[in-house]
């Protein structure tokens, strides 16, 4: 999982920003319950922070401990947000 994450998102802030933008857009849709919006918002904030980190970290840093920990948090919050999107959908009465 870390190999995949590193190949797709390390040193590519535009890909991180795309995920963060999709999560942010989902946050403003009126079709999710409040607890689902909180989970989606937490995931969006994590991904925006990952975007900022990837955009401002110089290429000279060979060891990326921050990326290792932050990528796990971003993956975990994204999974929780996907589950929240699926389960937190408001049903029409």
Hey, how many other C-beta atoms are within 10 angstroms of the C-beta on 24?
Answer: 17
pLDDT band at 63 (very low <50, low <70, confident <90, very high): low
Which CB contacts under 8 angstroms, 24+ apart, belong to 3-6? 5/71, 5/74, 5/75, 6/67, 6/71
* Per-residue pLDDT reduced to its tens digit, 10-47: 888 999 999 999 999 998 888 888 899 999 999 999 99
- Using the structure block, give the residue that is written with the tokens 């963060």: 20
């Amino acid at each position: 999982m870390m190999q995949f994450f590193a190949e797709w998102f390390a040193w590519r802030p535009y890909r991180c920003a795309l995920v963060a933008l999709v999560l942010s857009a989902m946050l403003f849709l009126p079709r999710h319950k409040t607890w689902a919006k909180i989970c989606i918002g937490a995931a969006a904030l994590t991904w925006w922070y990952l975007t900022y980190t990837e955009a401002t970290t110089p290429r000279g840093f060979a060891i990326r401990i921050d990326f290792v920990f932050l990528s796990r948090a971003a993956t975990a919050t994204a999974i929780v947000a996907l589950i929240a999107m699926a389960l937190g959908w408001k049903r029409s009465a």
